[in-house]
Amino acid sequence: MADYRAPIKDMFFAIRELADLEALSNLPDFEEVTPDLIEAILEEAGHLASEIYAPTNVIGDIEGSKFVDGEVKVPTVFKSAYQAFVEGGWPGIAHNPEYGGQGLPFLLSNCVDEMMQSANLSLSLCAMLTHDAIYTIEIYGDESIRSTYLEKMISGSWTGTMNLTEPQAGSDLSLLRTQAIPDGEAYKISGQKIFITWGDHDMAENVIHLVLARIPNAPSGTKGISLFLVPKFIPNPDGTIGRSNGVETASIEHKLGIHGSPTCVLDFSDAQGYLIGEPNKGLACMFTMMNRARLGVGLEGVAVSERSYQQALVFAKERIQGHLPGKSGNVAIIEHPDVRRMLLTMKVEIEAMRASAYVTASHVDKADHLNDQKEQHYHQSRVDLLIPIIKGWLTERSKELTGLGIQIHGGMGYIEETGAAQYLRDAMILSIYEGTTGIQAGDLVNRKILRDHGSALNEFFLDIQQTLDELSNLNDYPSIICERLSQGLDQSKKAAEWLKIHASKDVYSSGAVSYHFLMMLGTLMGGWQMALAASAAQKKLDQDKADKEWLKAKILSARFYAEQCMPRITTYTESIFSGSDTIMAYTLDQFESD
């Protein structure tokens, strides 16, 4: 079984050269965020990930979380690992210093999360959900809620959950039925929620649920949904744990992957809940948080692919099989061109995906911390545009990449003890939770592109064009990178034009092409970041002799991406231009094969 080693060199390169660390350091809130500090934090988190979290991954998969006598029991090894995470102060690194957080950039928090996710996706989910709950409370909670809950959650001694789904209400939250009956200053919450990640467990002393529910006489549909905080145990005024609060775990799910992460069915029965934000505005509160959560899930796709890659790489270097023309004797399979193709597809896409996620996180930080309204708006629009792309594209690709991780192992990859299969099993949830790829794609084309008449998308295109203009002045820059980026940009512009024209004439066209549109823009974003990475590497090669081979590999990787990944844009756009006619023409009976 391969160990996990945090890819700090690539992470730091992406932070510094692509995610604009300099600009972040210039923000008044982040004056102390120097490159040295970042590197030190990455090293320390990488140590925790490799030494403490990673060894619990397989045992968590085998043992799984269990539901015993009405209680959820997580794998025992998770408890001490999580304790180390809490003791290191990691849960709060990007949170409000007023409540014990360290107020570091969201970007950095994501980098730390990525390492924990690579090391143990199931376990890391607990902290991720808690992050999301904290953000929501930081923004929308009133003073009493903030002072009661934030410090405990930021320290990691209480964890958080998001309660959206009900059996009849999945992607369509308008159908939700959970009730919130006013009761003095609080509410009585009753209903059943399903698919609640880390909805209950024995790893922390309290679990704080954020729950979507309806107040009596609220408008129907999504405009009548409010958000409530419902603790598992009601805190005493001194901050200690009080009485149990009418939230019962009915069962936990038996899943394809993330076995260590308990996915709960929760029954709320007159549980005491506290309104977060305004009545009937719950969905808006949820969506503020959701942007961050979706970025986090996208990064989970990077994380699980990275660990899958590391293991496949070790195997490919050790496994002796076959000959190579011009070499005598048997060779390690990494020598075979087709195995190289698979390994490099993993490596290079992971780098492109990581850079894209970090750049997006950096835009989040700028949108949150810049004061200039115009600049703020620029970054927020970019965040809004990129979030569904990052969530959808990274998670879709992670299924393919972890599949390659199995394939590289041959027959050994299919044996569970090898460990490669777990990464695919775990990855398969990523394109589903926090909004399926279909939901992301619909959000992208309808809310993020058509609603502002393509203005944010145009700015995105303009920025890529600017990069192209700059690259054309460089000497010795591989021409294939510019050619393919330029071609991909042109094709994407044409697809955007197509969407604009057809969406107004055909109500089904945006839905029919949305998946291809998302994947097209994701691939383009990746190509853009790899092009920038290559030019940064080239500049550093001239100055810095230390990492020469590593920097040269970065340029090779941009070439590989241009050659092997960018051509997919053609396929996506050709499919887009076919529109919705054929897709919508089938009657229900015509879906039957017999």
Here's the x/- map for a copy of itself, 181-220, by CB under 8 A: it reads as: -------------xx-------------------------
Q: Among 529, 553, 395, which Cα is nearest to 9's? A: 553
φ, ψ of residue 236 to 5 degrees: the values are: -75, 160
Contact (Cβ atoms closer than 8 angstroms) between residue 558 and residue 478: yes
Contact segment (CB under 8 A) with a copy of itself among 1-9, 23-31, 92-100, 378-386 equals: 1-9
Of 179 and 580, the one with the shorter C-beta distance to a copy of itself is: 580
Of 16 and 146, the one with the shorter C-beta distance to a copy of itself is: 16
* Number of residues in contact with a copy of itself under rule CB under 8 A: 104
φ, ψ of residue 62 to 5 degrees: the values are: -75, -50
Among 16, 146, 281, 399, binds a copy of itself (CB under 8 A): 399
d(CA 524, CA 565): 9
DSSP per-residue string spanning 490-504: HHHHHHHHHHHHHHH
242-253 per-residue burial string, b: 16 or more CB within 10 A, e: under 16:
eeebbbbbeebb
CB of 248 to a copy of itself, least distance (A): 20
Half-sphere exposure of 550 (CA within 13 A, CB side): 12
Among 146, 281, 340, 369, binds a copy of itself (CB under 8 A): 340
d(CA 121, CA 346): 18
Catalytic residues: 434
For the chain, the maximum distance between any two Cα atoms, rounded to a whole number of angstroms, is: 83
- Residues 531-570 binding a copy of itself (CB under 8 A) are 549-550, 552-553, 556, 559-560, 563-564, 567-568, 570
Of 88 and 170, the one with the shorter C-beta distance to a copy of itself is: 170
420-455 per-residue burial string, b: 16 or more CB within 10 A, e: under 16:
bbbbbbbbbbbbbbbbbbbbbbbbbbeebbbeeebe
Residues whose CB falls within 8 Å of the CB of residue 407, separated by 6 or more in sequence, listed in order: 342, 413
Q: Does residue 281 belong to the site contacting a copy of itself (CB under 8 A)?
A: no
Joined tokens for residue 350: 């992971």
Contact segment (CB under 8 A) with a copy of itself among 131-139, 269-277, 359-367, 577-585 equals: 577-585
Of 37 and 432, the one with the shorter C-beta distance to a copy of itself is: 432
d(CA 167, CA 177): 10
Here's the x/- map for a copy of itself, 239-278, by CB under 8 A: it reads as: --------------xxxxx---------------------
Q: Does residue 515 belong to the site contacting a copy of itself (CB under 8 A)?
A: yes
Mode of pairing for the β-strands spanning 206-213 and 186-197 = unpaired
Among 102, 280, 465, 580, binds a copy of itself (CB under 8 A): 580
Q: Does residue 59 belong to the site contacting a copy of itself (CB under 8 A)?
A: no
Among 16, 79, 281, 336, binds a copy of itself (CB under 8 A): 336
Q: Among 355, 398, 311, which Cα is nearest to 10's? A: 355
- Residues 141-180 binding a copy of itself (CB under 8 A) are 165, 168, 170-172, 175
Of 79 and 340, the one with the shorter C-beta distance to a copy of itself is: 340
SS3 of residue 324 by DSSP: strand
SS3 of residue 235 by DSSP: strand
In the DSSP assignment, the letter for residue 565 is I
φ, ψ of residue 227 to 5 degrees: the values are: -110, 135
Here's the x/- map for a copy of itself, 466-495, by CB under 8 A: it reads as: --------------x---------------
CB of 554 to a copy of itself, least distance (A): 9
Q: Does residue 49 belong to the site contacting a copy of itself (CB under 8 A)?
A: no
Here's the x/- map for a copy of itself, 402-431, by CB under 8 A: it reads as: -x--xx--xx-xxxxx---x--xx--xx-x
